[in-house]
Amino acid sequence: MAAPILSERELEFMLYEMFDAESLTSRERYTDHSRETFTAAINTAKTVAEKYFLPIRQKVDTQQPTFDGKKVSMLPEIKTALDAVIDAGLAAPSSDYDMGGMQLPLTVASAAACYLSAAGSTTLGYISLTNANCNLIEAYGTQDQIERFVHPMREGRFAGTMAMTEPSAGSGLADLTTTATQDENGNYRIKGNKIFISGGDHDLNDNIIHLVLARVKGAPKGVKGISLFIVPKLMVNDDGSLGDKNEVELAGLFHKMGGRGQTSCALSFGEQDGAIGYLVGEENKGLAYMFHMMNEARIMVGTSAAATALTGFQYSLDYSKERPQGRLMASKDPMAAPVNIIEHPDVRRMLLTQKAYAEGAYALCLLGSQLADDEKTAPTEKERVAASTLLDFLTPMIKSWPSEYGPKANYLAIQVLGGHGYINEHPVEMFYRDNRLNPIHEGTTGIQSLDLLGRKVPMKNFAGYKAILAEMAGTIEVASQFEELQGVAKELADAVKQLQATTATVLGATKSQNIDLVFSNSVSYLDMFGHIVIAWLWLKQGMVANAALKEAPHKEDEDFYKGKMQAMQYFYRSELPQVYHWSNLVSSIDSTSFDMHADWF
């Protein structure tokens, strides 16, 4: 079976027909680029994915990293694959030329990363984390810190991590207890334990640069007393050469259900004198800096979840076209040859659901990338601020919608393959396991829902909230002019109206009712908002497809666009109506969960 990793036609549609990536070439930062250079970068990613990621996919999953008490051992093929990414310039293709990057728009970089992520999200994870680490130090670190740590990371010699979680402080960062004490040289000494540190130790790079959250002595309690430190595994001398071992010890590896190629580590910092750490920016502002990294990481998580959903869809689609089994109900002839299973309507339902989820999720992620590009390079300050506001607003949905619906898509990929989907001869069971991490890390779905309703909606006098409503209203207005889209445009308009009423009700309730009660249905609010945003993005896809179908496209394109129209219809018929149910729960301030006592379970 040689199922494609992703559909090339789909990526092309997303980039150039939905998000008009080509128009970015008119911006100063991207003047060296053209659709040709974009395509070249994506094709390179595809080649690296096919040549280095795909062949080791199963091996990476079944032969987990091991720790003998001294050293972590990894499959050497992972190193080869990572080197191929770096050699191809794909490690951080959107970073500045003078940082070794290609200044590729994030929209295009996301498409390239989608290939790598779909073929090996675990393997790519090392690079993505290192990038996020670099971006943070570039934004808030000193010139010395950039030269000493970022340059070698950008070159692929060092790796980077983010070390936040502690045994007693997972989602609750306020309670983290790792300490930092300034020594006589002005450096900080870090002491504490961190867990679930992705890429926390391994033998893939010469050095590992940890970004560690810790409390300086006397700092305020809670999240306002958290500072951020660079803590290298090996010290880095002024000339860039490697020095002594810092006090960072691997206490153990966790054994995960999926994402098995990426180590998940328990790290112990400073068991003796304290690990040497370098303060990033100012004391007590660590969480704000980390959020710089975390917002990026959240979009990365969404994209990875979408990529895994897309590739599972492709795989099960390919299988369904080649696997004969059973007959249609209308066929009463037991002598007739079995049909390929894609002919069974229920299999088509499962494929269409995957298509609606995976392509909808990916559109949302690409929108996030486009907004990140606009935030940086849109022509006017006003546009840049608007993009920043909208991106900030959408981030909890970009993180959580693909993370929740990606696994559901992978569930259906397994179901399409039946018993064959449950065994490791096919990768869909691995996709299902890999994708299950995404609703957990970088802020659980519950955390995202509190962020959306509690912070993002009222933020800046509802600026982000109003912006997305305005975007949707604009699309509805245009779509309503087309007969083929009037129905769904009306359905979206109704759902948006319901969303506005729900939002007003729930925020109104916070003034008079227990805040924990009002927020107890925040996940349903996130579900509702997420589904409406995805429905909006499906309408936008439908608009593109509808227009293209009127241009008498050739057969293959005609099929493609009809598939888009059908997936849009699927989302509107089978998914969008659920928002009314969620709205009822939220608007009525349903107290069922809130009222449940611990003792009653």
Q: Quick check: 224 binds its own copies (CB under 8 A)?
A: yes
Bridge partners, 268 (sequence order): 193, 249
Q: Residues 292, 294, 297, CA angle at the centre, nearest 5°?
A: 120
Q: Which is nearer to its own copies, 38 or 432 (CB)?
A: 432
Amino acid in position 27: R
Q: Quick check: 348 binds its own copies (CB under 8 A)?
A: yes
Q: Quick check: 325 binds its own copies (CB under 8 A)?
A: yes
Q: Quick check: 563 binds its own copies (CB under 8 A)?
A: yes
Q: Which is nearer to its own copies, 44 or 165 (CB)?
A: 165
C-alpha closest to that of 575 among 398, 404, 443 = 404
Q: Going by C-beta distance under 8 Å and a sequence separation of 6 or more, which residues neighbour residue 436?
A: 257, 258, 407
Q: Which is nearer to its own copies, 91 or 428 (CB)?
A: 428
Q: Quick check: 330 binds its own copies (CB under 8 A)?
A: yes
Which residue stretch of 127-135, 142-150, 206-214, 509-517 sits at the interface with its own copies (rule: CB under 8 A)?
509-517
Q: Quick check: 423 binds its own copies (CB under 8 A)?
A: yes
Q: Quick check: 169 binds its own copies (CB under 8 A)?
A: yes
Least separation in angstroms between CB 337 and its own copies: 9
Out of 184, 483, 516, 551, the only residue in the binding site for its own copies (CB under 8 A) is: 516
Which residue stretch of 76-84, 100-108, 334-342, 387-395 sits at the interface with its own copies (rule: CB under 8 A)?
334-342
Least separation in angstroms between CB 4 and its own copies: 12
* CB under 8 A, 24+ apart: contacts of 561-566: 563/355, 564/13, 565/484, 566/352
Q: What is the dihedral of CA 493, 499, 503, 504, to 10 degrees?
A: 50
Out of 50, 77, 83, 343, the only residue in the binding site for its own copies (CB under 8 A) is: 343
Q: Quick check: 315 binds its own copies (CB under 8 A)?
A: no
Least separation in angstroms between CB 95 and its own copies: 29
Out of 449, 498, 541, 587, the only residue in the binding site for its own copies (CB under 8 A) is: 449
φ/ψ of 30, rounded to 5, equals -110, 20
Stretch 240-279 residues interacting with its own copies (CB under 8 A): 254-258, 264
Using alpha carbons, list the distances in angstroms from residue 16 to 10, 85, 321, 370, 552: 10, 24, 28, 12, 19
Q: How far apart are the first and last CA of the chain?
A: 48
Q: Quick check: 67 binds its own copies (CB under 8 A)?
A: no
Out of 245, 349, 455, 490, the only residue in the binding site for its own copies (CB under 8 A) is: 349
Out of 89, 101, 170, 458, the only residue in the binding site for its own copies (CB under 8 A) is: 170
Which residue stretch of 76-84, 98-106, 156-164, 326-334 sits at the interface with its own copies (rule: CB under 8 A)?
326-334
For the record, the structure tokens of 460 come out as: 């800046």
Length of the chain as a residue count = 601
Stretch 382-411 residues interacting with its own copies (CB under 8 A): 407, 411
Out of 55, 324, 487, 508, the only residue in the binding site for its own copies (CB under 8 A) is: 324
Q: Quick check: 222 binds its own copies (CB under 8 A)?
A: yes
Buried b (16+ CB within 10 A) or exposed e, 434-453: bbbbbbebbbbbebbbbbbb
Least separation in angstroms between CB 591 and its own copies: 9
Using alpha carbons, list the distances in angstroms from residue 366 to 278, 468, 489: 35, 16, 22
Q: Quick check: 540 binds its own copies (CB under 8 A)?
A: no
For the CA atoms of the chain, what is the radius of gyration? 25
Q: Are strands 158-163 and 207-216 parallel, antiparallel or unpaired?
A: parallel
Q: Which is nearer to its own copies, 240 or 577 (CB)?
A: 577
Stretch 570-589 residues interacting with its own copies (CB under 8 A): 570, 573-574, 577-578, 581, 584-585
Q: Quick check: 507 binds its own copies (CB under 8 A)?
A: no
Which residue stretch of 42-50, 342-350, 458-466, 492-500 sits at the interface with its own copies (rule: CB under 8 A)?
342-350
Q: Quick check: 1 binds its own copies (CB under 8 A)?
A: no
Instruction: State the number of binding residues for its own copies (CB under 8 A).
Output: 105
Least separation in angstroms between CB 445 and its own copies: 7
Amino acid in position 238: D
Q: Quick check: 329 binds its own copies (CB under 8 A)?
A: yes
Helix axes 522-549, 578-587, angle to 10 degrees: 150
Q: Quick check: 554 binds its own copies (CB under 8 A)?
A: no
Q: Quick check: 327 binds its own copies (CB under 8 A)?
A: yes
Q: Quick check: 547 binds its own copies (CB under 8 A)?
A: no
Q: Answer whether 161's CB lies under 8 Å from 172's CB.
A: no
Least separation in angstroms between CB 133 and its own copies: 20
Least separation in angstroms between CB 24 and its own copies: 30
C-alpha closest to that of 365 among 305, 412, 452 = 305
Q: Going by C-beta distance under 8 Å and a sequence separation of 6 or more, which residues neighbour residue 378?
A: 27, 384, 386, 387
Least separation in angstroms between CB 519 and its own copies: 6
Q: What is the dihedral of CA 113, 117, 526, 442, to 10 degrees?
A: -100
DSSP for residue 420: G
Q: Answer whether 322's CB lies under 8 Å from 331's CB.
A: no
Least separation in angstroms between CB 520 and its own copies: 3
Q: Which is nearer to its own copies, 70 or 255 (CB)?
A: 255
Out of 48, 299, 317, 387, the only residue in the binding site for its own copies (CB under 8 A) is: 317
Q: Quick check: 97 binds its own copies (CB under 8 A)?
A: no
Q: Answer whether 208's CB lies under 8 Å from 158's CB.
A: yes
d(CA 433, CA 454): 31
Q: Quick check: 171 binds its own copies (CB under 8 A)?
A: yes
Q: Which is nearer to its own copies, 2 or 329 (CB)?
A: 329
Least separation in angstroms between CB 193 and its own copies: 14
Q: What is the dihedral of CA 549, 42, 55, 199, to 10 degrees?
A: -120
Q: Quick check: 284 binds its own copies (CB under 8 A)?
A: no
Helix axes 345-377, 381-417, angle to 10 degrees: 160
Q: Which is nearer to its own copies, 109 or 347 (CB)?
A: 347
